[in-house]
Amino acid sequence: MWIADNWTDYEVLDTSGGEKLERWGNFLLIRPDPQVIWGTPKTLPGWKKPNGHYHRSQKGGGEWEFFDLPQQWNISYRELTFQLKPFSFKHTGLFPEQAVNWDWMQGKIQSAGRPVKVLNLFAYTGGATLAAAKAGAAVTHVDASKGMVGWARENARSSGLSEAPIRWLVDDCVKFVEREIRRGNHYDAIIMDPPSYGRGPKGEIWKIEDSIYPFIGLCAKLLSPDPLFFLVNSYTTGLAPAVLTYMLSTALKSFHGTVDSQEIGLPVTSTGLVLPCGASGRWECKKI
């Protein structure tokens, strides 16, 4: 498992009974987590005095209950700063477990010894975009949500990356990739964090089990002759690390590279456990 254990502004303090107690900077949140099927006594004081608690509804969805929590606040990871705010379906605008991938991709970009063009698809609020840009890459950031792209640009400003070579695009990822292929554009690295389910601008249905492999193959046509890496993240139950490995190795078989896929996770301070948080597959060029 790849563990995001270099945070100072974030930690999972405890887990029990379908919930996790987290510290986001100076604030404590309790949020549901389907992986936490174990139950232990909730003895930490934060369980009784959080700043926010997301209550899952038996009918689906849920709602926040706030106790002295600001509408927005910041946390930092290394040289990056992210704006947080609680919004629908328990999220805060950041997936801290992805820091383990940010560190990895920054190492790849910095050691490349050449200009690197990165394409970040389903790019959300820009964690991977900012990590890649901070490492010196030129990044194209694509997400279908105008609000998320705006949020990502705010994170760039907070991180001192307003003038970084980042293209911010509100677009359907599949349609964008198809157009880029027709334009003859290429990228040295591709990152994608596809949803489990979604709809395109004309009602096209995205179901990850059916759509992800053809889409990886489509994106492979955008890779430069000397690609650096291809990263796929999945939070969908059933897409195990081995499945990510098979998809990447098959779709990118015409390139000389190696694939490694693992669960990603966050350390739990009170117990020493590691909370599983999805999986990532990493293809990288083979050193000759």
Q: What is the CATH number of the domain that holds 71?
A: 2.60.40.1180
CB neighbourhood size of 135 (10 A): 20
Q: What is the pLDDT of residues 179-237, one digit of tens each?
A: 999 999 999 999 999 877 776 666 667 677 778 899 999 999 999 999 999 999 998 87
Looking at residue 93, its pLDDT comes to 95
Q: Count of domains in the chain? A: 2
Looking at residue 174, its pLDDT comes to 93
Domain span holding position 223: 97-285
Average pLDDT value for residue range 236-249: 90
Looking at residue 60, its pLDDT comes to 76
Residue 260 within any structural domain of the chain: yes
Residue 140 within any structural domain of the chain: yes
Q: In what order do the strands lie in the sheet with 62-66?
A: 10-16, 19-24, 27-32, 52-56, 62-66
Residue 235 within any structural domain of the chain: yes
Same domain for 50 and 169, yes or no, is no
- Residue pair 103/135 in contact by the 8 Å Cβ criterion: no
Same domain for 118 and 181, yes or no, is yes
Q: Which has more confidence, 172 or 200?
A: 172
CATH code assigned at 145: 3.40.50.150
Residue 248 within any structural domain of the chain: yes
Q: End of a domain among 41, 58, 84?
A: 84
Q: End of a domain among 84, 115, 145?
A: 84
- Residue pair 155/182 in contact by the 8 Å Cβ criterion: no
β strands within 173-247, DSSP E: 189-192, 197-199, 205-207, 229-234
Same domain for 52 and 107, yes or no, is no
- Closest residue by Cα to residue 192 from 259, 244, 114: 244
C-alpha distance across the termini of the chain, in Å: 27
Looking at residue 59, its pLDDT comes to 77
Q: Give the pair of three-digit tokens for residue 188.
A: 């040295």
Distance CA 144, CA 60 (A): 24
Q: End of a domain among 52, 84, 116?
A: 84
Average pLDDT value for residue range 115-126: 97
Same domain for 115 and 257, yes or no, is yes
Please state, rounded to an integer, the average pLDDT across all residues of the chain.
Answer: 94
Q: Give the pair of three-digit tokens for residue 87.
A: 């919004």
Average pLDDT value for residue range 71-81: 97
Average pLDDT value for residue range 8-16: 98
**Cα pseudo-dihedral 132, 90, 71, 144, rounded to 10:** 50
Q: What is the pLDDT of residues 18-46, one digit of tens each?
A: 999 999 999 999 999 999 999 899 999 99
Same domain for 190 and 229, yes or no, is yes
Window from 72-86, 218-232, 236-250 with minimum mean pLDDT: 236-250
Residue 89 within any structural domain of the chain: no
